[in-house]
Amino acid sequence: MRNLAVNVTRGWGRFWFSDGSAINLAAARILVTGHALWILLSRDPAALSGLPAEFWDFVQDTARWRFLIFEGHPLWEHVLQTTALVALGAALVGLWPRLCCLVGGVLLYHLAPFETIMYTPSPWIKGYTVTTLALIILGSSRCGDALALGGGSERPPAWEYRWPLTLIQVALCQVYLFAGYAKMLRTGPTWLLEGVRGYTQHYIQNEEVAVFHALGGWLIAHPALCVAAGCVALALNLSFWTVLFSRRARRVLVPFAIAWHIAVLFTMNFAFLEAPLLLLFVDWQSLRERLAARKPALLAA
């Protein structure tokens, strides 16, 4: 028992507190704030505060207080939305990055639910979920020690750069893990037989959704391939977490997940908006070092 406790403690320490890279954490800051800006600049959640009262009739008071969303204040919400954009922009370039990440994360928590609150308090599929959590994590971390306009000279122990990035990566792995878990819990093994075919059929047959028809139509004409695709989808969901522990898994599963999301886009007409955050698994520090090492050779050529 004592050995187990020692091993768990050592494993915990290795996983969270090994040496990290200031560059990788800063790259995470840039990716996360860039992603948040991409989503927020592509929407206008503040404007939804001005919807007529009928759209708010069934919004629970507890949901209002949970997000501090009180309808009828579009001007004020636009001030908050602009503040979020400025904070995210400042965090992107590394100006007061911790404070700006925190401000951006808290404001996204408030603004994102506007998009869905009239029928559900959860905007889980709208592209803000992992980003909101990541911004709060970055706001508590040393994310501004590299790739920043206002970077300081003080350098903490290298493990301070590891745990925040790892925690954000854990949040991203949970997307895949829970997606697979939810399939098995809610539908069971029959999902493997019918899930891919059913959803593909739905989203290519419904004229209000179908943008891409060809690949989905070809897929559903081959039932065995639909079952195989379902097995691959579930395998990806339930194995993706291994990228947290294995470089080999990362080299295989991250590109595969990106390719899978592209395939899903063209078959089912689903755009998984959190997919660009898969770049969080790239070791930017190593990439930078490899490019720097090749530079003299390239210049000589």
**Residue 60 touching another protein (CB under 8 A):** yes
| Distance from C-alpha of 194 to C-alpha of 201, rounded to nearest angstrom | 10
Name every residue whose Cβ is closer than 8 Å to that of residue 234 and which is 6 or more positions away in sequence: 180, 183, 184, 191, 192
Tell me the one-letter amino acid at 62: T
| Distance from C-alpha of 19 to C-alpha of 216, rounded to nearest angstrom | 45
Which CB, 64 or 288, lies closer to another protein? Answer: 64
Q: Which of 93, 95, 136, 282 binds another protein (CB under 8 A)?
A: 136
Contact 40, 108 (CB under 8 A): yes
Best CA proximity match to 115, nearest among 174, 42, 38, 53: 42
| Distance from C-alpha of 36 to C-alpha of 30, rounded to nearest angstrom | 10
Q: How many CB atoms lie within 10 A of CB 34?
A: 18
| Distance from C-alpha of 301 to C-alpha of 294, rounded to nearest angstrom | 11
Which CB, 7 or 206, lies closer to another protein? Answer: 206
Q: Which of 270, 279, 283, 288 binds another protein (CB under 8 A)?
A: 270
Q: Which of 124, 218, 245, 256 binds another protein (CB under 8 A)?
A: 124
From the list 21-29, 62-70, 242-250, 283-291, the region that binds another protein by CB under 8 A is 62-70
**Residue 259 touching another protein (CB under 8 A):** no
**Residue 283 touching another protein (CB under 8 A):** no
**Residue 269 touching another protein (CB under 8 A):** yes
From the list 19-27, 188-196, 251-259, 292-300, the region that binds another protein by CB under 8 A is 188-196
**Residue 8 touching another protein (CB under 8 A):** no
From the list 46-54, 143-151, 238-246, 247-255, the region that binds another protein by CB under 8 A is 46-54
Q: Least distance from C-beta 86 to another protein, angstroms?
A: 14
Positive or negative: CA dihedral 113, 115, 117, 119:
negative
Which CB, 202 or 288, lies closer to another protein? Answer: 202
- Token reading at 248: 């080999």
Q: Which of 44, 95, 151, 288 binds another protein (CB under 8 A)?
A: 44
**Residue 198 touching another protein (CB under 8 A):** yes
Interactions with another protein, residue window 210-229 (CB under 8 A): 210-212
Tell me which residue has tokens 């204040």: 73
Q: How many CB atoms lie within 10 A of CB 54?
A: 8
| Distance from C-alpha of 296 to C-alpha of 290, rounded to nearest angstrom | 11
Q: Which of 27, 84, 175, 257 binds another protein (CB under 8 A)?
A: 175
Q: Per-residue x/- marks for another protein, 235-254, CB under 8 A?
A: --------------------
Q: Which of 133, 143, 253, 257 binds another protein (CB under 8 A)?
A: 133
Q: Radius of gyration of the chain from Cα atoms? A: 22
| Distance from C-alpha of 71 to C-alpha of 50, rounded to nearest angstrom | 7
Which CB, 8 or 259, lies closer to another protein? Answer: 8
Q: Least distance from C-beta 173 to another protein, angstroms?
A: 10
Q: Least distance from C-beta 264 to another protein, angstroms?
A: 9
| Distance from C-alpha of 12 to C-alpha of 8, rounded to nearest angstrom | 6
Compute φ and ψ for 65, nearest 5 degrees: -70, -30
From the list 87-95, 116-124, 246-254, 285-293, the region that binds another protein by CB under 8 A is 116-124
Tell me which residue has tokens 């994360």: 105
